[in-house]
Amino acid sequence: MWTQLNSGAGYWNVFVWLLFFAGMSCLVLWLRSFGRHDYMRNTLQDDIYWSGNEVPEDGAKISVPASASYWGFRVAAAPVYAFLDRLHNGSASDYAGYFVVTAALIGALVLAGGR
């Protein structure tokens, strides 16, 4: 069969997954049908609530910039980022240095290895 892939420990079949996805979608739609039916489009119910303030027309003023995403993750992983920032310092001579040091290390390891 062109769609089923066996790994030795299990199998993957994309159409089984799609069938499952379709089944779950039907279940979600059925649950949704229990919701309220008195919602009206294009009325005040559609308006954005922005802490009681007037919503600016330009979307740029109410967007979270990409550079602010995952701020907490960055703070939590600060030591890793301190190391990575030092590594990516933009200096071409440092980049050549990383290459030379890695080359020496790999060369020594391979020479010390068997055969």
Partner 1 sequence: MSRHLPAFLIMTPMLGAFLSPLAVMLGRTARNAVLVLFSLATLVISLGIVSATMGGNVLVYVMGGESYTLTMPSGMAYPVRIMFEIDGFNALMILCVAAATFAGALFSVAYMDRFSGWKRYMSLYFMMATGALGMCATGDLFNFFVFVEVSSIASFGLVAFWRDKPEAIEASFKYMLVSQIAAMLLLIALGALYGKYNALNMAAIASMARGGTLDKIVLALFVIVLAFKCGAFPMHTWMPDAYAEAPAGVTCLLVTVSQASFYGLIRICFSIFPGVGGAVVPWILIVLGCASMFFGVMMAVVQHEIKRLMGYHSISQVGYMLMAMGVGLLAAGGAEGVYGFKAMTGGIFHMVNYSVYKALLFLCAGALYYATGTRDLDRMGGLVRSMPWTAGMFVIAAAAISGLPPFNGFISKWMIYESSFAVHPALTAIAMITSVLTLASFAKVFQAAFLGPAKAALSGVREVPCAMLAGMAALTLFILLLTLFPSWFTSRLFDNAAHALLNHQGYVSAVMGGV
Distance CA 39, CA 43 (A): 9
**Is 25 among the residues that bind partner 1 (CB under 8 A)?**
no
Strand spans (E) along 7-66: 11-13
Q: Which of 28, 74, 76, 82 binds partner 1 (CB under 8 A)?
A: 74
Chain centroid to Cα 114, Å, comes to 41
**Is 50 among the residues that bind partner 1 (CB under 8 A)?**
no
At position 102, the amino acid (one-letter code) is T
Q: Which residues make up the interface to partner 1 (CB under 8 A)?
A: 1-5, 7-10, 12, 14, 17-18, 21, 57-60, 62-67, 69-70, 73-74, 77, 80-81, 84, 87-88, 92, 95-96, 98-100, 102-103, 106-107, 109-115
